[in-house]
Structure 1
Amino acid sequence: MYKIKTYNKISVKGLDRFDRSKYEVASDINSPDGYILRSHKLHDEALPESVKAVARAGAGTNNVPVAEYSKKGVVVFNAPGANANAVKELVLSGMLLGSRGIIPGMNWAQSLTDMTDAAEMSALMEKQKSNFAGSELTGKTLGIVGLGAIGSLIADTALALGMKVIGYDPALSVEAAWRLPSQVARAENLQSLLARCDYVTLHVPAIEATHHLINEESLKSVKEGAVLLNFAREAIVDAAAVVQSLDAKKLRMYICDFPEPILLGRDDVYAMPHIGASTAEAEENCAIMGADQLMDYLENGNIRNSVNFPAVQMERSGPGARITFCNDNVSGVLGHVLSVLADNSVNVVDMVNKSRGDIAYNIIDVEQAPADDVVAAIKAVEHVITVRVI
């Protein structure tokens, strides 16, 4: 029986993926094999030795101490793309709010509580509506920084609206490139994109390389009157630099999902309370993806959508057993493990070995389950971190 500890409120549709004949799932559970969580911060919590994997039901994993878990051989999964449509729709809403006088117009209309004559109010509306005039998105240029699952969806939508689209992503994968419409132009660098775009939307992960990617220096290149949208992560933008640019009338508006004290009380800032993925559909999709990945790893050793381990999948090779182990990514470890198996007459049927950064991961199918002393011998191989027999 596998044990799964939940944090936060996880969608029932995700939790229902766990077969209760094989899984015990609860928020209060001893010696869990895995965690599934949303935004709960794990940095200050002791990690039980029983934990083998963590599934984050969302895209970002800044609430998980990934580097620490990697050293302990704990796989960390996320759910890339599961909330992409929800974020895409909110970005579109942000662009529309930033292009028209929607919010100030509605606030003004709601302030007319002393008027009782409908005809008089209608006449006033006709007289004052020019104060809330805006511009259309069609024909404008949108810059997308980060062309993953969300960025590519936004590119599709913007093109359908008649916008021009420029993309910038120094870490663009081949898979992501195939998803992109051919009409998306490529910027050579961030400064080039900022200088050419009427709207700029950010969709990169919050990592050391992207910390304050938008800062005082980069904003010197921004096109005058541009609207900046940040529905990615707070740390990507230096809020003080944005306020400085707004005060200088370089940026026209900043629309984000991350309110900060310095941004409040300004008419040129629309700050939402981190609702980018807050739809019932997105929460369900993220929970389902997280649960499925966690189960496949615990039951089969397969890894999909991990942020710290390589992607490794292998079909089962008959009725035998499966050995999985991770190790420091140095030469000779796999050879030593295979020697242990050969010395103990454990026949290997199939295997796969992949590495990512400092971590290597291996799946080995064998004809029969190895004895405990064989497993102990594998664990004793230098640089082996964890071993499982499934």
Structure 2
Amino acid sequence: MPESLDRKFNILTLNAIAAIGLNRLSADRFQIGSNIADPDVILLRSHNMHDMPIPKSVVAIGRAGAGTNNIPVNQMNARGVPVFNTPGANANAVKELVLAGMLLASRNIIPAIRFVEKLQGDDTALHQQVEAEKKRFSGLELPGQMLGIIGLGKIGRLVADAAIRLGMKVSGFDPKITVDAAWSLSAEVRKVNEIETLVHRSHVVSLHVPLNDSTHHLVNTDLVAKMQKNTILLNFSRDEIVDEDAILVGIEKGSIKNYICDFPSQKLQHHPAVIALPHLGASTKEAEENCAIMITDQIKDYLINGNILYSVNFPDVTMEREVPYRTAIANANVPNLLGQISTCMASIGLNIHNMVNKSRGEIAYTLVDTDKPIPREIINAIENITGVLMVRYIPKLSSNERQ
């Protein structure tokens, strides 16, 4: 609906968002807090939104992180609400943790630490025990080892680059790799077309895929059976990508030497071959700040200009503003809706100065710039077109927002 220039947007935060990001939303235009009523936008990190009522006032949701499994995305599709995330903002933090996991497992550091913690006696006794037992913790060096990466998004590519610099050989599997990702992938990464082939050839396997229907229990009993003996398996993506029963069988049969993950569970807790961290993947000051900056910039551009970038359910749609009057429309991706919208505007002689329309799956999104203001009755008419999910009439930018 029409928005006055002096209207404040209400931003509800469900988790702590780094101040460096929130400070990019000026107090004269944005009201931010954890107890905001009728929010326009909800910002969060790991808060589970599936069991909470989402106010009708919400026009966008922003996740300061990559995964959006804690957000009811399908429900937002039906309402025409884009869900934003921050892919790549925490990629370096996760990459470093993956490298740490490889080193912990390859050099048997955790059992070695546990051994030392249990030593008793004076320094002479400690030295004798260490010399007698240290062979138990003999490990392997990473150069020359084959790292198999499942998922070649931003994190997977950073892990590949770091492993290559460590002297490892790297192969990758990603049937849905984007053109941009393929161009930025090191030529030294050997691309494999079958996941079974990748795990069979790899000494170390690292998972970097989102959790969805096709990746749930991607690592199962059948795949584990294809692994070579003493594989190191790393999972810093999502817990349900692996079947924990398959992990235990793999450890028992010797195909898995260590399972290193960021997701503790009762079933795997205290198992000597499992190294579980308390979801530390993005837990660095730098990653939290990067995510906060990225998500607030995205949300601001959407609220002020209607532009969409890095949404998990909407297409990327951006358009430079050349005239003051803009309308943003989300609708079901069905035939003739764009024609009906144009007809509504033409019915009162509105000239469309510029327009962009894109679709993604079941959702289409349109930005329309007109040379004159759009009357309330035309906005109402567009809202009443069958298949239209949301309409936002976005007013002329103030001078400070143009900068």
Specify the TM-score bucket, using the shorter chain as the normaliser: over 0.9
Per-residue CA deviation, residues 184-210 of structure 1 (Å, 9 max, x unaligned), is 001111100010000000000000110
Task: Report the CA distance between 1:109 and its aligned residue.
Answer: 1.7
1:343 aligns with 2:347: yes
Aligned AA (1:51): V
Partner of 2:391: 387
Give, as a single letter, the amino acid of the residue that structure 1 aligns with 2:112: G
Which residue is equivalent to 2:254? 249
Q: Which residue of 1 aligns with 2:42?
A: 35
1:129 Cα deviation from its structure 2 partner: 2.1
Query: What's the offset of the Cα at 1:121?
Result: 3.1
* C-alpha distance in structure 1 between counterparts of 2:382 and 2:244, whole Å: 51
What amino acid sits opposite 1:253 in the alignment?
N
Matched, 1:185 2:190: yes
- Is 1:137 the equivalent of 2:151? no
Partner of 1:280: 285
> SS of 1:227's equivalent?
strand
Structural mapping, 1:169-208, within 5 Å: 169-208=174-213
Shift of 1:123: 4.5
Output the CA distance in 2 between the equivalents of 1:62 and 1:56. 10
1:322 aligns with 2:329: no
Distance in 1, matches of 2:264 and 2:34, equals 30
Aligned-partner residue type, residue 11 of structure 1: A
User: 1:122 is matched by which residue type in structure 2?
Assistant: H
Task: Name the amino acid aligned to 1:115.
Answer: G
Distance 1:105 1:245 in 2: 22
Q: Which runs of 5+ in 2 are unaligned?
A: 1-7, 395-403
- Which of 267, 270, 278 in structure 1 is aligned with 2:272? 267
Residue from 55, 75, 100 that aligns with 1:93? 100
Q: Distance in 1 between matches of 2:133 and 2:53?
A: 60
Question: Number of residue pairs matched?
Answer: 387
**Match for residue 110 of structure 2 among 90, 97, 103:** 103
Cα distance, 1:126 vs. partner?
3.2
Please give the root-mean-square deviation of Cα atoms over the aligned residues, in Å. Answer: 1.0
Deviations 1:49-94 (A, max 9, x none): 1100000000000000000101101110010001100100000000
1:301 maps to amino acid: G
User: Which amino acid counterpart does residue 296 of structure 1 have in structure 2?
Assistant: D
Aligned-residue identity in percent:
47
Q: 1:124: Cα distance to partner? A: 3.9
State the 1:132 CA deviation: 1.4
Structure 1 segments unaligned to the other structure (5+ residues): none
3-state SS of 2:58 partner: coil
Q: Is the 8 A contact 1:324 1:361 kept in 2?
A: yes
Conserved? CA contact 1:346–1:368, under 8 Å: yes
Distance (Å, rounded) in 2 between the aligned partners of 1:316 and 1:246: 58
Q: Deviations over 1:296-316 (max 9, x none)?
A: 101100000000000000000
Which amino acid is the alignment partner of residue 380 of structure 2?
A
Whether the 8 Å contact between 1:5 and 1:32 is mirrored in structure 2 is yes
Query: 1:231 deviation in Å?
Result: 0.5
Partner residue, 2:3: none
Q: TM-score, normalised by structure 1?
A: 0.97
Contact 1:369 1:389 in 2 (8 A): no
In 2, the alpha carbon distance for the partners of 1:129 and 1:218 equals 33
Q: Which of 85, 90, 110 is equivalent to 1:83?
A: 90
How far apart in 1 are the matches of 2:351 and 2:53? Answer: 38
